Amino acid sequence: MKVARHEKIIELIHQYDIDTQEELAARLNEAGFKVTQATVSRDIRALKMTKVAGKDGKSRYAILKDEPSTLGDKYTRVLKEALISMDVGQNLVVIKTVPGMAMGVAAALDALKWQEILGSIAGDDTIMCAAKTADQAMDVVEKLRSILETQ
């Protein structure tokens, strides 16, 4: 049942711009899968889904595939579209994003696997990114700025 539900989720997010767990749960229920929001939340984690900016600027769920040749480009695009500002305090980098995109940016940061980053915690529009040292926090900011400045 879980495999069929996951296949349906993938089909739905490709067919519709779904931006909330509640909307995804409703569409799954309409398709005959009796789910709760908690089940959908677990499925989102299991499928490694994140929110990305849609064509109209609204966020929507998507699955970022680990294709080696385009992986960097996808994450770079997420960073460029969603990141608003960065600030450093000791070994912490606080990153502001457009509303609803913090988890997508944090996922992109995690996927880049920079050794300076110990981990990230994302809310709706803010990420707290812990670096090993204050100097490495500045290195993270510089790396992010260089990504944002490339065309």
| Cβ contacts of 127-132, under 8 Å, gap ≥ 24 | 127/93, 127/94, 127/95, 127/97, 127/102, 128/92, 128/93, 128/94, 129/92, 129/93, 129/94, 129/95, 130/91, 130/92, 131/91, 131/92, 131/93, 132/91
Phi, psi of 27 (to 5 degrees): -65, -35
Query: pLDDT tens-digit profile of 77-104?
Result: 888 888 999 999 999 999 999 998 999 8
Query: In terms of C-beta density within 10 A (0-12 exposed, 13-18 middle, 19 or more buried), how is residue 46 classed?
Result: exposed
Q: Do residues 123 and 145 touch, judged by C-beta distance below 8 A? A: no
70's tokens:
């385009």
Beta strand 92-97 pairing with 117-122:
unpaired
pLDDT tens string, the chain, 151 residues long: the values are 888 999 999 999 989 989 899 999 999 999 999 999 899 999 988 888 888 776 677 788 887 654 444 446 777 788 888 899 999 999 999 999 999 899 989 988 888 888 899 999 999 999 999 999 999 999 999 988 888 876 4
Predicted pLDDT at 67: 44
Predicted pLDDT at 68: 44
Q: What domains appear along the chain, each with residue ranges and CATH number?
A: 2-47 (1.10.10.10), 75-149 (3.30.1360.40)
Query: In the chain, what's the furthest Cα-to-Cα distance?
Result: 53
3-state secondary structure of 13: helix
Q: Do residues 86 and 137 touch, judged by C-beta distance below 8 A? A: no
Predicted pLDDT at 2: 86
Predicted pLDDT at 135: 94
Predicted pLDDT at 146: 82
9's tokens:
């989720």
Query: Which amino acid does the sequence have at 102?
Result: A
